[in-house]
Amino acid sequence: MRFFGEIVRGRLDVLPCRSLSEVFRAVNEGAATDGLIPIENSLAGSINESYDLLLKNDLVIHGEVILPISHCLLALEGQTLQDIRKVYSHPQALAQCDEFLERRGVETIAVYDTAGSAKMLKETNMQGAAAIASRRAAELYGLEVIAEGIQTNKSNSTRFYAVGRGLAAKGKRNKTVIVFATENKPGALYWCLGAIVCRQINMTRLESRPSRGQPWEYIFYLDLETHISDPSCREAIRELETKTLFMKVLGSFPAATGEGDGRYYENGGRGRQADTRCE
């Protein structure tokens, strides 16, 4: 709602999916125009399945949003905290609320989705049980919030990517995500990164993932603080194409900070830059 609510006129229809692969399938088959997938949690790190699906599919990242995680304990009307003996939610949500749950001494039961646990609770009229989900889930399914902000770490946030077929316009601050593979030889990654460094493009993320095709070989995901319409970005990509076994631009879009509307950087300074002259 935070991301698409600004760009969609009229009603926003939401298509729930049980898995990340279903999200990609829905967009590929035309059941949905866009998909929203989690890509990184500030505490747990990358969502590896999302990265693998981005590589496997031809959908383009055209935006991102960062949401602070605020877990609530939801129950049927009239239930109190003392009534709760079982708690249902997604495994990650249960893990992120471990201290609260241990203090309560309740039984935890993992299900496929946080909002899904709230839906199940309502549909089965389950007494003595609660779900961990958002306040919005409580509103949607007519449940009461009996405890709020129960996550162990209060600075927990998750980054989501919007994927589809359309290209994003350039924003105030931008991000370009690429993936590539190099030859297995000394200095291969070094020379690839040189194509970026010498053009003074800030690299905000570098992560390796095992190659699906070759055991013990790796592919690299890079987040660059630039837009593909920038000449320096296009030049870097052209040079990377000559130094890699394969390279793919996964998206180029306005970057988010998790503040304000959740879509654009409002400010943010840079530290002193190193000498990035091309030799």
Catalytically active residues, by annotation: 158, 160
Residue count of the chain? 279
Continuous segment of H or E residues that includes residue 217: none
Q: Give dist(CA 69, CA 96) in Å, integer.
A: 9
Q: Give dist(CA 189, CA 175) in Å, integer.
A: 21
259-268: long-range contacts at Cβ-Cβ below 8 A with a sequence spacing of 24 or more? 261/2, 261/6, 262/2, 262/3, 262/65, 262/66, 262/67, 263/3, 263/6, 263/63, 263/64, 263/65, 263/171, 264/171, 264/172, 264/173, 265/172, 265/173, 266/172, 268/173
Q: Give dist(CA 227, CA 233) in Å, integer.
A: 7
